[in-house]
Amino acid sequence: MARWRGEINNLAEVSSGTMKINCPLTHFLLACTGCCLPLLAQAENHALVHCSIFNGYENSIQANMTVRVRDRLIESVAADGVKVPDGYSVIDCAGNYLMPGLMDVHTHLENLEQAQRALYTGVTTIRSASVPAYQDIGLRELVRSGGLPGPDVVAAGVYVSPNLEDTILADPRLAVLAHGVNTDDELRLLVNVNIDRGVDVIKTRGTERAGRPDTDPREQVYSRHQLEVIVTEAAKRGIPVMVHAHGDEGALAAVQAGARSIEHGTYLSQGTLKLMQEKGTWLVPTYITMLEMNEEQYESVLRLRGSHMVPRLEQAIRTAHRLGVRFATGADSYYEKESINTISLEVMYLSRFGLSTFEALQAATTSSAELLGLEEKTGRIKAGLEADMILVPGNPLEDIMAVQDVLMVMSNGQLALQRLPFARQ
């Protein structure tokens, strides 16, 4: 707990200097956890001057710009030279490159330390890909309240999967599913418990996992009928469905059933990809986590599996791009200390597999916002949208590796990370 307190206090100091915390939510959380959370009393108004801007929707850079931020939103984007009004904290970006915050639309954030690490990599919006006990909903509400600078959370709650394992403890209504989640009524029950708890998206599976030695990721799990039951039940309450699918048969069933996105997509055939393009189904390839399976900490059967799957996923990405399938970025990360699964690396690999640098950057910003239905709220640097932005040291359109070196993170108008200036006065 002491380690937690130290890391979180560091975040608070970086975000806005010395802060006073005085709100009922704060005292409630302090009483419950016994630690100092990165709660912010009031967001400052900021003026970011001398910026070079990649706005997310134009394949160009605007030099010598000023962005004013007020009340969590981008107030204006204009050329340098206009006097900054009183009441703004001025940040000199020194010609560095300001771009929209990155989005991770397939992650498993479940605590405050992981949220902080995600922010420090430049991620300002995430879509959960399931958690054990609705922690993603708690994170979402903490960010909405202003208690955390971010990232904003699109919550999935509990995985709709045949065997809930320990997740069955997440809600007492799930006790009747101890023997499995397979019949139409069982599927509907779990979907509705999730929605009652406040999820924004339903996560289910079309195929088995890749990360267990006793499963084959090509094996279909839920049938087209079962997936249709899930999608139809969720749609009654306006909730989209994301589907884990490595194998082609399970992915095809999910696309036919009306899934909003296919997660992973390792063995997708050209026919399934064509149908995805026709139906507007998104692909979230999570290539960086598949690549990680080749590393030494995994047992031999998984390393061998990874060496087989990685080139096939690369080919699926190339074919999907050629056919016009829409991409969004997910790292399938828990943002643990040991992991280097980041969206910046996912973007880099997408740019190597057929997407232009501009398309790869859009996959992590404007396109991901569109997948999440947030295109009118975030994903671009434009007046009226949420102030979710990062600063990087090089032109990302020319050097996509620059996105890995984040100098500043602003989420919902609050500074979560500020490394400039390097020189002392």
Residue spans per domain, the chain: 102-371
Q: How many whole angstroms separate alpha carbon 297 and alpha carbon 121?
A: 23
107, 148, 150, 105: which is closest to 131 by C-alpha? 107
Cα(73)–Cα(82) distance, integer angstroms: 19
* DSSP, res 7: H
Res 413: pLDDT: 97
Alpha helices in 34-123 (DSSP H): 112-120
Could you tell me if 40 and 14 are in contact, meaning their C-beta atoms sit under 8 angstroms apart?
A: no
Confidence (pLDDT) at 194: 98
C-alpha dihedral, 119 to 123 to 124 to 126, nearest 10°? -110
| CA–CA gap between residue 201 and residue 93 (Å, rounded) | 37
CATH code for residues 102-371: 3.20.20.140
Encode the chain (425 residues) as per-residue pLDDT tens digits.
333 333 333 333 333 333 333 333 333 343 333 343 444 435 689 999 999 999 999 999 999 999 999 999 999 999 998 889 999 999 999 999 999 999 999 999 999 999 999 999 999 999 999 999 999 999 999 999 999 999 999 999 999 999 999 999 999 999 999 999 999 999 999 999 999 999 999 999 999 998 788 889 999 999 999 999 999 999 999 999 999 999 999 999 999 999 999 999 999 999 999 999 999 999 999 999 988 766 656 778 888 888 889 999 999 999 999 999 999 999 999 999 888 899 999 999 999 999 999 999 999 999 999 999 999 999 999 999 999 999 999 999 999 999 999 999 999 999 999 999 988 87
**Tokens for 276?**
């995805």
| Amino acid found at 265 | G
Question: Quick check: helix, strand or coil at residue 89?
Answer: strand
The C-alpha R_g of the chain, in whole angstroms, comes to 21
Q: Are strands 408-411 and 414-418 parallel, antiparallel or unpaired?
A: antiparallel
State the residue for tokens 């979560």. 416
How far apart are the C-alpha atoms of 354 and 351, rounded to whole Å? Answer: 6
Residues 6 or more apart whose CB falls under 8 angstroms from that of 414 comprise: 15, 16, 40, 43, 44, 72, 146, 149, 150
Instruction: Give the distance, in angstroms, between the CA of residue 298 and the centroid of all CA atoms in the same chain.
Output: 25
Look-up: residue for tokens 């799957």? Answer: 309
Q: Cα–Cα distance between 381 and 372 in angstroms, integer?
A: 17
CA distance 303 to 300: 5
Distance of CA 66 to the CA centre of its chain: 27
Residue-wise over 193-213: b if at least 16 C-beta within 10 A, else e?
Answer: bbbebebbbbbbbbbbbbeee
pLDDT for the residue numbered 43: 60
The confidence score (pLDDT) of residue 82 equals 85
